[in-house]
Amino acid sequence: MRTQVAIIGAGPAGLLLSHLLRLQGIDSMIVEARSRDYCENRIRAGVLEQGTVDTLNEAGLGARMQREGLVHHGIELLFGRELHRIDMTALTGGRSITVYSQHEVVRDLIAAALEHDQTLYFDAEDVSLHGLPSDAPHVTFKHRGVEMRIDCDYVAGCDGFHGISRASIPADVLRTYERVYPFAWLGILADAAPSKDELVYAHHERGFALFSMRSPSVTRLYLQCHPDEDLALWSDERIWAELRTRFENTSGWLPNEGHITQKSVTPMRSFVTEPMQYGRLFLAGDAAHIVPPTGAKGMNLAVADVRVLSQALAARYRDARTDLLDAYSRTCLERIWRSEHFSYFMTNMLHPSYDDTPFGNRMKLAELKYVTSSHAAAQSLAENYVGLPFAA
C-alpha cells in the first residue's frame, strides 16, 4: 500500500491530523494499536482551550461539541477555606474554555474518518517504522494475522508517550527534559449533577483536589495521592470523605455525591523531546511532550502541534516548500515550553508536596493570594489557561 502520510496512533493528534490533511487534499493512513472501542472509551482530558474549539469548528468537526460542550467563563481557586473566582473571559478580552470530554472528541473524529472512507487500522500489532532518514520510509505491522506494509513520504508519530515513534529515533539524536512529580491524581467519575457551573482547583494541607464535570449529570473529581497509591484502599466512602475535607469552605458549597463509575490513578510528569523530527518522522502530541494535568494543556498541545504539521505538509505538497516542515520543531516548541511552564507553575502552586518545607508551603499560599488579588497576576493565569492565540 502507498500513502502520502502514514500516521501512527488514533488519539486526538493522529485523528485530527488525518482530517486536516484530507481538507488539504493530502492522503493519509492511520495505524492504531488498540481497538476502536478502547479508543472511544478511554477517559482522559476534559478542558478544551478556545483555540482547540475554534480549530475543531473550522474543520467542520464541532457540531456535537457546540450542542453538548459546556462553555466556562471562569474558574475558582479554593485555599484557606475561601473560594476565589478568576473571571477568565473578562481578563482575556472575551475568551473562554469548553468542557467536552476527550473521548467525545475522539468519537467525533472517528465518525468523520469513517464517513470520509479514511483508511484506519485498529488493533495493529508489531507496528514498526523503517527508513526514516531516507526519503522513502515505510511502516510495517500485523493486522488480523496478515503482514502489512505502508510506503509513504512522511510518518507522523502520534502514538502517545508510550508509543514506538519516539523510541524509533536513535537516542543520540534526541535531547529530553523531564521532571517526575512526587504525587499523582486519583480521578473518579460519579453519576451526580455538578453542584457548580465552574471548575474548582483546591489547595488544602492534606493535598490538592479538583472539581470538574463531564455533562449535566456527571461530575469528575480528582484527589492528590501518592504515585504508587493502591486503589483497593480507596473505598467510595473514603473518597467522598476525603473530598469533603479538602473542599470544605466558608460558603458551604460541596460537590454532589453519587455512584462512582470509574476510578484511576494518573502519574504526574513534565517531559519534552527536542527536536520533534528525525528525517521523515515528525512527532506530535504526547509522543513528544507531557505536561502534568493541572493546567489542562495536554490535548490542547496535541491539537496545536497537528495544526502546525498539517500546514507545513500542505505547503510541501501545494507549493513544494519545505521551510515550514524544517521549522516544525522550532515552531511547536515555542508553545510547548510556554505550556510546560504554565503546567509546572499551576502544579507547584496547587499541590502541597510531601517533601515541602513549611517555608515552601507558605510560598505556595503567597502565590495563591497574589494570583487572586492582583489584576496583573490573575490576567497572566487567565491568558495561559484559556490558551494563547495561535501564530498567524
The sheet with strand 125-130 has its strands ordered as 125-130, 138-143, 146-151
Task: Residue 51: name its binding partner from ligand DHB, ligand FAD, none (Cβ under 5 to 8 Å by kind).
Answer: none
CA 355 distance to own-chain centroid: 27
| Binding residues for ligand FAD, total number by CB under 6 A | 35
- Establish whether 38 is a catalytic residue: no
Counted residue by residue, the chain has a size of 392
116 assigned to active site: no
Beta strands 199-202 and 74-79, pairing class? parallel
Contact status, residue 310 vs residue 17, Cβ threshold 8 Å: yes
Other Cβ atoms less than 10 A from the Cβ of 147: the count is 9
Map residues 40-79 to x or -, x wherever contact with ligand FAD holds by CB under 6 A: ----xxxx--------------------------------
From the list ligand DHB, ligand FAD, none, which binds 199 (C-beta under 5 to 8 Å, kind-based)?
ligand DHB
- The contact set with ligand DHB (CB under 6 A) reads 45-47, 199, 210, 212, 220, 293-294, 296
Binding mask 115-144 for ligand FAD (x = CB under 6 A): ---------x--x-----------------
Q: Which x/- pattern, by CB under 6 A, does the window 179-218 give for ligand FAD?
A: --------x-------------------------------
Task: Give the Cα separation of 253 and 83 in Å (integer).
Answer: 9
Write down the least CB distance from residue 350 to ligand FAD, Å: 14
Which residues does residue 60 pair with via DSSP β-bridges, in sequence order? none
Dist CA 341 CA 337 (whole Å)? 6
Among residues 203, 289, 297, 351, which one is catalytic? 297
> CB-wise, 82 or 178, nearer to ligand FAD?
178
Residue 137 amino acid letter: P
What whole-number distance in Å separates Cα of residue 97 and Cα of residue 350? 20
Residues with catalytic function:
72, 201, 293, 297, 385
